[in-house]
């Protein structure tokens, strides 16, 4: 039993996809599919979270995750409060726990939290009051569960619900990627036929993260016949750490160009969580091309986050 699931089997917080039953993941994907029109603002907002206040509490920058949680909460009827650590009393030394407890005292019931430290959101969940719910919006290199869910939804829409037929390739800095970890948890839970992982050895983890995956450094070879390519952002600080020799060199070996993509299955799709380093891990031609699902991922982010908030707080 993970700490995010109650003794009666109900999801209390969403901290990670690791260990989450396939049935629960599928329920969230199904619900996101059902409410997609509301998520996209095509139909009237729902009222399932009327009277609920949700706070996005971010200790790290974000564009997509924060905005889509904000929109998702509003489209469910909730009141939304955005607290950005860079302009809050965090700057005066207030702890994350005190920040959370003070906002709870104002009647906030749901917190969407991003933090630079592994496990920080789970720690906060353990310190929260009885009726408070937390969603992990990305902690350190550990987990970004709603990104894993929206990526799975995007793949399911493009390729169908039977993941056992799919060959999926994840490319880049897996070692430092919370997105990759959550994608791997989702892909495994959904029974993906083959998961390939490719990147420079210095950026691939050597622990249990890649258990059961086909691992390689030769991008061209790993692309052969795959149905989906999930590109990861190259975190530029890896160059300063000496893990990547130069951006040009990285692009030459691990950049996805249209020519390279032709090695994948003819109808292969390309995903990237954003933000994109154009010309580094992916060319403009691919990022904006017909096989790219990048903006579909972003739209699905609102629907998934609505489904998650509704399941936790509705
Ligand atoms: N994909 C993602 O987490 O993007 P943001 O950092 O902009 O939220």
208: pLDDT confidence band, cut at 50, 70 and 90? very high
Which of 59, 61, 63, 151 for a ligand 1 pocket mutation test, highest count of atoms within 8 Å of Cβ? 63
Q: Which atom of ligand 1 is nearest the CA belonging to 273?
A: 1
Which of 60, 274, 281 for a ligand 1 pocket mutation test, highest count of atoms within 8 Å of Cβ? 274
143: pLDDT confidence band, cut at 50, 70 and 90? very high
In this structure, the residue with its CA closest to atom 3 of ligand 1 is 65
The tens digit of pLDDT for each residue in 222-234 reads 999 999 999 999 9
Mean pLDDT of 25-31: 98
289 and 149 belong to one structural domain? yes
158 and 272 belong to one structural domain? yes
Statement: residue 194 has pLDDT above 90: yes
Mean pLDDT of 153-174: 98
Beta-bridge partners for 43: none
Query: Looking at the domain assignment, is residue 242 inside a domain?
Result: yes
State if residue 154 touches ligand 1 by the CB under 6 angstroms criterion: no
Q: Which atom of ligand 1 is nearest the CA belonging to 65?
A: 8
172 and 265 belong to one structural domain? yes
Query: Looking at the domain assignment, is residue 39 inside a domain?
Result: yes
Mean pLDDT of 130-136: 96
33 and 157 belong to one structural domain? no
Query: Looking at the domain assignment, is residue 90 inside a domain?
Result: yes
205: pLDDT confidence band, cut at 50, 70 and 90? very high
Mean pLDDT of 285-303: 98
What pLDDT is attached to residue 235? 83
260 and 166 belong to one structural domain? yes
The tens digit of pLDDT for each residue in 53-66 reads 999 999 999 999 99
State if residue 255 touches ligand 1 by the CB under 6 angstroms criterion: no
Statement: residue 25 has pLDDT above 60: yes
Mean pLDDT of 165-186: 97
138 and 38 belong to one structural domain? yes
Cβ count near 243 (within 10 Å): 18
Domain count, the chain: 2
What pLDDT is attached to residue 245? 87
In this structure, the residue with its CA closest to atom 5 of ligand 1 is 62
Statement: residue 242 has pLDDT above 90: no
State if residue 64 touches ligand 1 by the CB under 6 angstroms criterion: yes
What pLDDT is attached to residue 61? 95
Q: 296: CA distance to ligand 1 center in Å? A: 14
Statement: residue 4 has pLDDT above 50: yes
In this structure, the residue with its CA closest to atom 6 of ligand 1 is 62
Query: Looking at the domain assignment, is residue 13 inside a domain?
Result: no
What pLDDT is attached to residue 198? 98
Mean pLDDT of 237-244: 79
What pLDDT is attached to residue 184? 98
State if residue 263 touches ligand 1 by the CB under 6 angstroms criterion: no
Query: Looking at the domain assignment, is residue 2 inside a domain?
Result: no
Statement: residue 93 has pLDDT above 80: yes
Statement: residue 236 has pLDDT above 90: no
Q: 8: CA distance to ligand 1 center in Å? A: 32
205 and 284 belong to one structural domain? yes
Q: Is the pTM of this model over 0.95?
A: yes
174 and 194 belong to one structural domain? yes
43: pLDDT confidence band, cut at 50, 70 and 90? confident
Statement: residue 1 has pLDDT above 50: no
CATH number at residue 34: 3.40.50.1370
Query: Looking at the domain assignment, is residue 74 inside a domain?
Result: yes
224 and 244 belong to one structural domain? yes
Q: 273: CA distance to ligand 1 center in Å? A: 7
Query: Looking at the domain assignment, is residue 213 inside a domain?
Result: yes
Q: 250: CA distance to ligand 1 center in Å? A: 22
184 and 138 belong to one structural domain? no
Boundaries of domain holding 230: 145-293
Statement: residue 39 has pLDDT above 60: yes
State if residue 274 touches ligand 1 by the CB under 6 angstroms criterion: yes
195 and 305 belong to one structural domain? no
Strand order in the sheet with 214-216: 214-216, 194-198, 167-171, 228-231, 269-271
Cis before 275? omega within 30: yes
53 and 126 belong to one structural domain? yes
State if residue 65 touches ligand 1 by the CB under 6 angstroms criterion: yes
Q: 56: CA distance to ligand 1 center in Å? A: 13
The tens digit of pLDDT for each residue in 179-193 reads 999 999 999 999 999
Q: 278: CA distance to ligand 1 center in Å? A: 15
Query: Looking at the domain assignment, is residue 164 inside a domain?
Result: yes
Over the chain, what is the mean pLDDT?
96
Mean pLDDT of 197-215: 96
2: pLDDT confidence band, cut at 50, 70 and 90? low
């Amino acid at each position: 039993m993970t700490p995010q699931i109650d003794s009666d089997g109900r999801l209390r917080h969403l901290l990670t996809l690791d260990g989450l039953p396939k049935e629960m993941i599928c329920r969230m994907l199904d619900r996101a599919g059902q409410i997609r029109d509301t998520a996209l603002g095509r139909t009237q907002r729902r009222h399932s979270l009327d009277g609920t206040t949700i706070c996005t509490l971010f200790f790290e920058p974000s564009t997509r995750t924060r905005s889509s949680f904000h929109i998702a909460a509003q489209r469910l009827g909730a009141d939304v409060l955005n607290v950005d650590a860079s302009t809050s009393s965090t700057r005066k030394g207030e702890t994350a726990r005190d920040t959370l407890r003070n906002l709870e005292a104002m009647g906030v019931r749901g917190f969407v939290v991003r933090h630079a430290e592994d496990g920080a959101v789970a720690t906060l969940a353990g310190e929260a009051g009885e009726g408070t719910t937390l969603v992990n919006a990305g902690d350190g290199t550990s987990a970004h569960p709603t990104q894993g869910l929206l990526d799975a939804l995007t793949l399911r829409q493009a390729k169908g619900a039977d993941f056992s037929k799919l060959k999926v390739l994840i490319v880049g800095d897996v070692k430092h990627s919370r997105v990759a970890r959550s994608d791997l948890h989702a892909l495994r839970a959904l029974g993906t036929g083959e998961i390939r992982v490719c990147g420079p050895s210095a950026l691939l983890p050597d622990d249990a993260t890649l258990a059961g995956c086909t691992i390689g450094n030769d991008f061209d070879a790993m692309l052969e016949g795959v149905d989906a390519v999930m590109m990861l952002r190259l975190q530029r600080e890896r160059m300063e750490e000496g893990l990547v020799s130069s951006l040009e060199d990285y692009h030459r070996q691990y950049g996805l160009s249209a020519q390279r993509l032709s090695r994948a299955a003819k109808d292969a799709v390309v995903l990237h969580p954003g933000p994109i380093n154009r010309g580094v891990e992916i060319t403009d031609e691919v990022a904006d091309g017909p096989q790219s699902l990048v903006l579909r991922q972003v739209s699905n982010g609102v629907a998934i986050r609505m489904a998650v908030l509704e399941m936790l707080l509705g």
